[in-house]
Chains A and B, each alone.
Chain A
């Protein structure tokens, strides 16, 4: 049990460092909820890749778990990438378009 508690404490301390100050304001609770939602969404999305290949889905879920722990808080990155700067949106449009064409052509 000791090892489980120590892992729990480790993760708790690791995540706590991102949340300084008053932790129960409307803004803070919104960000915390969004962080949890984003993490779960990412894991579910990763698991969706099992429709192409089950091993691929498993690998991506493990990678997503690692990514969630290493890159937390995700919501900050997500918020930054969701800004409406023209350059940023254009960048993502080009990426999406390239992926759409690549995936569709691959299907031939």
Chain B
């Protein structure tokens, strides 16, 4: 595939189609049948676009690049100072956007089937969330990066608040408070980089930093790094922001959390790679990123162990596994980055299986707490099988996909001379297994002894009632979506090369040619 097209036609469509769909859905408001048709059609179009799109650049505003000789060019393969806002669509972008658009189809279908009011605005927010994620993963200029992160944070809060319960609105509000701090931090970081280098294009800024003597200004870069990492921590829900992020995951509808966790993974990948490309040569930059990753994993799994509700267990595990993704990126080696990116792909898929299973449990009308629900395996054996496979994949059990990426991360840690980090990755896998099998045993395998069917779990106190009628049958579509996702888990577990082919190029470029997007 060619990577030099400067006006790749598919790139603007990933932004425009979700916006137009969101406007239409908002206007239709509660006309559920029409909303369902438009939303599903639109998400399928996005999925097909991601699947068939060639690779290339999009230079918005149509300005050409200026070569060092003073001539102009529209050819992205020729070195030039790029005045326009730049997006890039390559292998990494393709696999992540394809998976996200596939999940968008499922989430749109599930929300249109289960919600009873405000369907239009709610699904519109989900489409805009997709758009912000697509922007962040494709962007190669600071302006759009900042805009994408800001929009993503606010839209995330919007989706959570739209769950309609006080606990979710509180979580959304708390998260939004911090977006002011983090957004400002990122703006300061970008302003500093812009001030030092004079370029808003990330490629040009990296080239300037690498080729010019910045010794008198390096202090500015260090401060910019600090602010950038702060913003990365916020966007990805890494430690110490993880309590807010887990609140957000736990208090949204599980199907919404599928999109929220996917968006977070895309954000930490995109921003993590930019930090590595820009600041990878600064002393202790990778160590700082590694420390944040390790603490996130430890906090996430430890807190997951003490939860008594499947939703909250998953909320903390999503946080912990974000740490696995950032760990790989932080190692800064080709193997480490490949493992981190592959882990992001796998994590999105197996966490989606677990979250959709969690949503299905809510259809039995007793919430998702281990104290109120039990005996689901007898009533829904296929659901029990799906949740067990999801748990095995998340715990890194072969032949599922989690095993393949976690083994790469362990090998990368050992190759980097960090056996302690490898031990922590191993412990996170084992602890994930323990943390997941406590609710799985209680909810699916243990006989149901409670005589009264409750509508919502008092412990979680969330959106069960607003979403589905108590004890309504689990929709057949949930089983279909689970079957597709489990097929992906098994295929990637048996043939990891299918995904590795998409992410390895990015890892090589980040390490050896950091200026190339």
Contact = CB atoms under 8 A, between A and B. Distances in A.
Given A103-B287, A104-B284, A40 B171 contact: no
A38 B299 CA distance: 9
A65 interface: no
Given A37-B431, A38-B298, A101-B223, 15 more contacts: A27-B308, A33-B434, A34-B306, A37-B305, A41-B298, A44-B423, A47-B420, A84-B246, A84-B247, A88-B243, A100-B230, A103-B288, A104-B226, A107-B283, A108-B218
Interface string B168-205: 00010010011001000000000000000000000000
Main SS at interface, chain A: helix
Nearest to A78: B302
Most buried by A among B171, B282, B284, B302: B302
B283 to A, nearest CB: 3
A93 B230 contact: yes
Interface in A41-86: 41, 44-45, 47-48, 51, 75, 78-79, 82-84, 86
A79 B284 contact: no
**How many of chain A's residues touch chain B, expressed as a range?**
35 or more
A106 interface: yes
Nearest to A50: B420
- Ranked 6 nearest A-B pairs via Cβ: A107-B283, A92-B240, A34-B305, A84-B243, A107-B284, A101-B226
A48 B425 CA distance: 14
B283 A108 contact: yes
A105 B219 contact: yes
A6 interface: no
A37 B288 contact: no
A105 B225 CA distance: 10
B390 to A, nearest CB: 20
A96 B181 CA distance: 14
Interface string B239-276: 11111101100000000000000000000000000000
Given A44-B423, A104-B285, A26 B306 contact: no
Contacts of A34: 302-303, 305-306
A48 B181 contact: no
A75 B420 contact: no
Interface of A: 26-27, 29-31, 33-34, 37-38, 40-41, 44-45, 47-48, 51, 75, 78-79, 82-84, 86, 88-90, 92-93, 95-97, 100-101, 103-108
Contacts of B55: none
B226 A41 contact: no
A78 B243 CA distance: 12
B446 to A, nearest CB: 9
B226 A48 contact: no
Contact of B222 (A48, A90, A108): A108
B294 interface: yes
* Interface residues of chain B: helix, strand, loop or mixed (majority): helix
Nearest to A92: B240
B306 A75 contact: yes
Contacts of A106: 284
A93 B242 CA distance: 11
Contact of A37 (B230, B302, B417): B302
Interface string B149-179: 0000000000000000000000100100110
Given A75-B302, A82-B299, A108-B218, A30 B240 contact: no
A82 B300 CA distance: 10
A33 B417 CA distance: 29
Contacts of B434: 33
Contact of B308 (A30, A44, A48, A100): A30
A79 B218 CA distance: 39
A100 B287 CA distance: 10
B51 to A, nearest CB: 39
Contacts of A26: 308, 370-371, 438, 442
24 contacts: A26-B370, A30-B305, A30-B307, A37-B301, A38-B302, A40-B427, A48-B418, A51-B418, A75-B302, A79-B303, A82-B299, A84-B243, A92-B240, A93-B178, A93-B181, A96-B292, A100-B226, A100-B230, A101-B223, A101-B226, A106-B284, A108-B218, A108-B222, A108-B283
